[in-house]
Amino acid sequence: MRHMSDDHTHVQEFFGSRAADWDSRFPDDGPAYAAAVALMGLRAGDRVLDAGCGTGRALPPLRAAVGGTGVVVAADLTPAMLEAAVRAGRDADGQLLLADVTALPLRPESLDAVFAAGLIAHLPDPAGNLVELARVVRPGGTLALFHPIGRAALAARQGRQITADDLRAEHNLGPLLSGSGWDLTSYVDEDARFLALAVRRG
């Protein structure tokens, strides 16, 4: 079994080297993030976490959804990603936290929703880590697992095949979520996006 700090180091090395040109590699993704956030049903005044926020690409639409009275918190483990977020001015839309989403410095049920783009495949213990995300969300709150490209298109880009044990396949993700305090309510996997929405069980 890998030690937790090995996972941290791996994530920080992998994403640290990609942070500086992260946004310029995918310059056209903005509308897909906005469309995904729009489907979360956020309301003015809501409190939302962007888990594994990277350069904060989701922060402008999250802020627009919750308004000035809402709370937007954005957590990432990789300092270089948060530095790029600041350079892009995204700290204007949310509070950036250098934090591990597998052990969040947040109170139980303190949020209405969690948005997580491109995160789940990088978690060391997806079932346990989804329990941690459930801990900080109120019953009835929302989880959005998003990627601005579908599973098949992503696999093709990375030169690999999708296997039946893929974590994000609906037949795996549904049971994974329900064993972690979430009910899968919507699942879309098409070339232009992956979006799974779940509700925190009471």
- Give residues in contact with ligand SAM (CB under 6 A): 11, 15, 52-55, 57, 75-78, 81, 100-102, 117-119, 122
Residue showing the smallest CB distance to ligand SAM in the complex: 54
Selection from 121, 76, 128, 135 nearest residue 101 by Cα:
76
Q: String of b and e for 35-56 (b: at least 16 CB within 10 Å)?
A: ebbeebebeeebbbbbbbbbbb
Nearer to ligand SAM, 35 or 171 (CB): 35
**57/193 with CB nearer ligand SAM:** 57
Q: How far is CA 80 from the centre of its chain?
A: 17
In terms of CB distance, is 111 or 183 closer to ligand SAM?
111
Which of 54, 57, 67 shows the shortest CA–CA distance to 19? 54
Considering beta carbons, is residue 55 or 142 the nearer one to ligand SAM?
A: 55
Q: How far is the CB of 25 from ligand SAM (least distance, A)?
A: 10
The least distance separating ligand SAM from the CB of residue 54, rounded to whole angstroms, comes to 3
Going 95 to 99 to 103 to 105, the CA torsion angle's sign is negative
Beta strands 95-98 and 193-200 are: unpaired
> What is the closest distance, in whole angstroms, from the C-beta atom of residue 9 to ligand SAM in the complex?
11
Nearest distance, CB of residue 202 and ligand SAM, angstroms: 26
User: Closest approach of Cβ 200 to ligand SAM, in Å?
Assistant: 19
The answer to whether 15 and 78 are in contact (CB under 8 A) is yes
Strands (E), 4-159: 47-51, 71-76, 95-98, 111-117, 137-147
For ligand SAM, which is the closer residue by CB, 92 or 121? 121
